[in-house]
Amino acid sequence: MLDSLYGLSGKNALIVGAGKVPHAIASLFETAGAVVVHAQEPELSEEGVKALFDGTPELDILVNGAVVTGPWPLDELSMDEWDRVHATNVRGAFLLMRQAVRTMRVHGRGGRLINLSTIGSVHPVLHGNYAYGSSRAGTNALTRQFALDCAADGIASNAILVGAIPSDPFPAGCPMPPTGPGMQPERFPMGHGTPEDVAPVALMLASAAGRYINGQAIVVDGGFQIA
């Protein structure tokens, strides 16, 4: 019974992103029986995304964990940096999801779109997260729009809002250290989580257990937002 609910045998999954959370999801999906292609640093131009999917002709599950992050002081946030963050987190998400839907429609088996987002998209957690928080809010909106438009094709679209999960360091060159509520230990009722706490949520959404879940943003933050 558990395998029929949570097993992924016979499913083809594309997982995008180089972070620890995408790695944990890829590992769990493989354990659950999926054939996994893990594209850690793909080219997220239109041509690059098309080439990525040309190598994955049949697809049941897309997990989008491609992300550019980093806090910037307001007066030091250039529009070039703003555009760089949004190019991956919103434009890249759209290109991946659109191509995934096109691929899923060809084989007619339906499918699952899963975006890795952040609680910072709905609740500011770090100072200076102007570009990152707003771009992830855009990812959330895309998640809901695809959920509405693709439901008739049997394709469900959901997001996981990750928080309280120390995973990947901020990129080199960020001009400010991370400060704000997300750096206050007393704001974490259950302490910090791990990437392995996120992966089972992705498995639920990807498997038969998540068949009737669509257009949702599921928070995995150990209670941060209630503290």
**Catalytic residue IDs:** 130
198/188 Cα distance (integer angstroms): 16
Beta bridge mates, 158: 114
Distance (Å) of CA 59 to CA 63, 126, 165: 11, 36, 29
Largest CA distance in the chain: 56
Distance (Å) of CA 210 to CA 46, 110, 130: 30, 13, 32
